[in-house]
Structure 1
Amino acid sequence: MSESEDRDEYNFVISYPMKQELEIRKIAKLKRQQTNKKWNKFIKKQGGGNLIIKKNSKLKKLVRSGIPNKHRRVLWQSLTSSKEHLEANQGYYDSLLKRNKDGKSSATRQIDNDLKRTFPGHPYFDEEENLLKLRNVLCAYSWRNTKIGYCQSMNFIVGLLLILGFKEEEAFWMFVAIVEVIMPKTSYSRDLIDAHIDQKTLLSLMLKRINKIGKHIVKHDVSLQLITQQWFLCLYISCLPTEITLRILDVFFFEGNKILFRVALALFKLSQKEILEQNEPGLLFMKIKELPNNVVSADNLLKCAFALKAFSRKEINKQRKFWGPKVQEEMNRLNKVRTQMKERKLKKLEEKKKKKKIKDREDRKKRRKELLEKEGWSSSFDEKDYKKQIEIEKEEENENENESKLKTILVVNEKEKEKENENEKENENENEKEMEKEKEKEREKEKEKGKEMEKEKKK
């Protein structure tokens, strides 16, 4: 079994472990050539580059057949209305970056940790300039939506958009459409509420659409969420080969997030025989984890996904509504347990601190005892003597404290007396001034009387 390695159009590594896979890929290439002709006709009818797409059954069929690489960037922006948002909010992205240029948070720290983990080995991210673009988009979104901030797997979504040729601002608005419009509101929140609800919904759909596999998983009590939640959060980008992921994303942007459920069910359906053969929970878990590695053809995967009994967005929303309160209750219980564990941890820390304080006190006593013995105390020195010494010292301290208190009281009293004397002097001065004023008034009256008497004499 020979193994060769090659890279696709976007520089992602493609491995061909079997000759059979090469044949499948040749057939897929021929099909793409046929669909490209159909797309070229469609693009011409729409007027070239400035597309205003109206969704209909013909276009739906065309999207499911796969959008040509050269048209993906324009069509995805049109399908998500992200281009409209970009044009309606000119300068918004740049203002986010400028306003928070030196801003740091738990989100930005996590982003910095994940930058070089994004598609390791891909030549695009060997350049610092491109890593900075990725950081800018992720940080800008964390500042736009502080309730969500950043969640692992976001780096793969934005990273792929940049590799596909989206400019920074285009990638930002595409990402806004994914997180805030296409996916449930709290899929990427800190507690991942909607992500947990979607995993319960997936198991419910499995029990309805691929009943044997669903029952087999429930019987062996295998936690699907540990595997499938990541499929949903990264939109299969870091799980499946790029050309298959791009085909899934074509449908995702046209039909919404229900395609994530269809693809998950198809992954299980295609490996039904191997899954049902596993009767040991650990081996069954590993088999499910390896399901994306078994997929070679996007056509086969999507054909299986759309061959499943149809389920509408309404059915998914009904399941989400049912599981929502139960998941919330479960999360509340977990949070309560976490809080209790934190409280216990804090209590233990406090107890340790107390024990340390007691130990330190005992050590000080011991050292003091040794010092006192060195200074002439008899070897028969015991704890009673030590306690007496401490009591004497305390009494001395109390006496010193009382003396200082008395001094402060005396000083305060003296100051108060000085103030009283000053006030008395001021009052005496004021009285003297008033007496002077009254005497002055009497003198003036006498002068006036004298003047009047002189006038009478003259008359």
Structure 2
Amino acid sequence: MASQDWSDSESVGSSVAAPSEVSTVPDKFGFLGGAQYTDESEEAVPVEVIRRREKKWLEMFSRWDSYMLKRYKKVRDRCRKGVPSALRARAWQHLCGANKQLERNPGVFNQLAEAPADPRLEDDIRKDLHRQFPLHEMFLQKGGHGQEDLFRVLKVHAQVSPDEYCQAHAPLAAVLLMQMPAEPAFWCLKAICDKYVPGYYAPGLEAIQVDGDILYKLLKKVSPSAYKHLKKHKIEPVLYMTEWFMCLFSRTLPWSSVLRVWDMFFCEGVKVMFRVGLVVLKYGLRSQVLKRCPGMYETLQALRNIEHGVMAEGFLLFQMQRLDLTEDDLQREHQRQVQKRRQTAKESGAAAANGR
């Protein structure tokens, strides 16, 4: 796949199809079907390669602070190659600092999990449990250990961040629980909300709107045709990217892709989300698709039903690396959008003052 140019092909990843039926046998990640189901025919990494990578990661863990300070690019490159599944929980905790938070706050999670909370809050959380990856074997059973651990993580998170709790926290917590126990999952979730995407879940969702505008402007450079189409039909970014970014693509991509994206996200931050979003937009709205999208409705439907091959692990990650997008591009556009919003707020304030 790496040697082919799929820039305008009708057959992007056509050999990989999303399963339409629920299986009685889970895939290697525990899914019985749905968008996250991973086809077992996907190319596997040789065992000897996995073992070599595991040894390298174990060596990094033994000198973690030194690696992060002096050899960060090595850590980044190994995250981009994919964290070995046996060490993924440990790696994510180290990358986001959850391991240190857990050490500094022994017993805090369990205390908060057992403490009484607002009954209305608990009721709201309970209502969300069955919606989280219902085709994953861990969350199939109402009242099962998966749903109960999910409840505990969300309850504690809502107690420490009462102004920011929203439904988008549930899939994030569920992804983490598939990798690790409830206590470290909580600290990872807190790190995501506080350090990686601050403001995403605050009332008004301004941070998401800013990042949506950044994504939209970057698309102009990456795929002018998709950008022009969205602009022509006045399709605002928040209409299609809100769930992508707030749920870190966990409800959009097949699971093998989710894990690889999260490996990079925990190392490099939100810029990984922009790269994923740009690839999905570029190939999900390539010219052959746009011909079938005469208006806003058809375009949004196309974005809700991206061809499975576009999101398949091999294709997605290769195209993310190929994007003509630098760190400076992201930083400059972020500064532009923040400045633009400040100016708009300033003008609005002046107009309101003059109208008194």
> Could you say whether these structures have the same fold, taking a TM-score greater than 0.5 normalized by the shorter chain as the test?
yes
The one of 63, 69, 83 equivalent to 1:67 is: 83
Of structures 1 and 2, the one with the larger relative CO (CA 8 A, separation 6+) is: 2
Kindly provide the amino acid, as one letter, of the partner of residue 257 in structure 1: V
Q: Secondary structure at the match of 1:189?
A: coil
1:248-263 matched pairs, under 5 angstroms: 248-263=261-276
Select the structure that is richer in helix.
Answer: 1
Kindly provide the amino acid, as one letter, of the partner of residue 86 in structure 1: L
Partner of 1:97: 113
Q: Find the aligned partners of 1:155 and 1:15 in 2 and give their Cα distance.
A: 18
Partner of 1:284: 299
1:28 aligns with 2:47: no
Contact 1:240 1:292 in 2 (8 A): no
Q: Find the aligned partners of 2:125 and 2:20 in 1 and give their Cα distance.
A: 35
1:301-340 matched pairs, under 5 angstroms: 301-312=316-327, 314-325=331-342
Superposition deviation, residue 278 in structure 1: 3.4
Superposition deviation, residue 242 in structure 1: 1.1
Superposition deviation, residue 273 in structure 1: 2.7
Superposition deviation, residue 51 in structure 1: 5.0
Q: Secondary structure at the match of 1:13?
A: coil
Percent same amino acid at aligned positions? Answer: 23
1:167 aligns with 2:181: yes
Superposition deviation, residue 110 in structure 1: 2.1
Contact 1:201 1:323 in 2 (8 A): no
Superposition deviation, residue 146 in structure 1: 1.9
1:157 aligns with 2:176: no
Relative distance call for 1:328 and 1:233 in structure 2 (3 A) is farther
Contact 2:54 2:84 in 1 (8 A): no
Number of residue pairs matched by the alignment: 319
Superposition deviation, residue 26 in structure 1: 4.2
Kindly provide the amino acid, as one letter, of the partner of residue 167 in structure 1: P
Gaps of 5+ in 2: 1-16, 350-356
1:367-378 matched pairs, under 5 angstroms: none
Kindly provide the amino acid, as one letter, of the partner of residue 316 in structure 2: L
1:31-430 matched pairs, under 5 angstroms: 31=45, 33=47, 35-46=49-60, 52=65, 53-54=67-68, 55-98=71-114, 101-104=115-118, 106-125=120-139, 126=141, 128=143, 129-148=145-164, 150-164=165-179, 166-183=180-197, 185-271=198-284, 272-281=286-295, 282-291=297-306, 293-295=308-310, 297-312=312-327, 314-325=331-342
Contact 2:113 2:152 in 1 (8 A): yes
Q: Deviations over 1:85-132 (max 9, x none)?
A: 11011122223234xx33216543321210111111323121523322
Q: Deviations over 1:214-267 (max 9, x none)?
A: 111101222332221100001111111111100100000011011101001111
Q: Find the aligned partners of 2:331 and 2:33 in 1 and give their Cα distance.
A: 38
Contact 1:186 1:192 in 2 (8 A): yes
Q: Secondary structure at the match of 1:146?
A: coil
Kindly provide the amino acid, as one letter, of the partner of residue 103 in structure 1: A
TM-score (norm 1): 0.63
Q: Deviations over 1:39-63 (max 9, x none)?
A: 1231353366x85542532332221
Relative distance call for 1:84 and 1:233 in structure 2 (3 A) is same
CA RMSD after TM alignment: 2.9
Kindly provide the amino acid, as one letter, of the partner of residue 184 in structure 2: E
Q: Find the aligned partners of 1:155 and 1:324 in 2 and give their Cα distance.
A: 30
Larger radius of gyration: 1
Q: Deviations over 1:313-362 (max 9, x none)?
A: 52353144135437869999xxxxxxxxxxxxxxxxxxxxxxxxxxxxxx
Superposition deviation, residue 210 in structure 1: 1.6
Partner of 1:359: none
Q: Find the aligned partners of 1:207 and 1:276 in 2 and give their Cα distance.
A: 16
Q: Deviations over 1:358-406 (max 9, x none)?
A: xxxxxxxxxxxxxxxxxxxxxxxxxxxxxxxxxxxxxxxxxxxxxxxxx
Q: Find the aligned partners of 2:170 and 2:227 in 1 and give their Cα distance.
A: 32
Q: Find the aligned partners of 2:332 and 2:206 in 1 and give their Cα distance.
A: 19
Q: Find the aligned partners of 1:34 and 1:223 in 2 and give their Cα distance.
A: 47
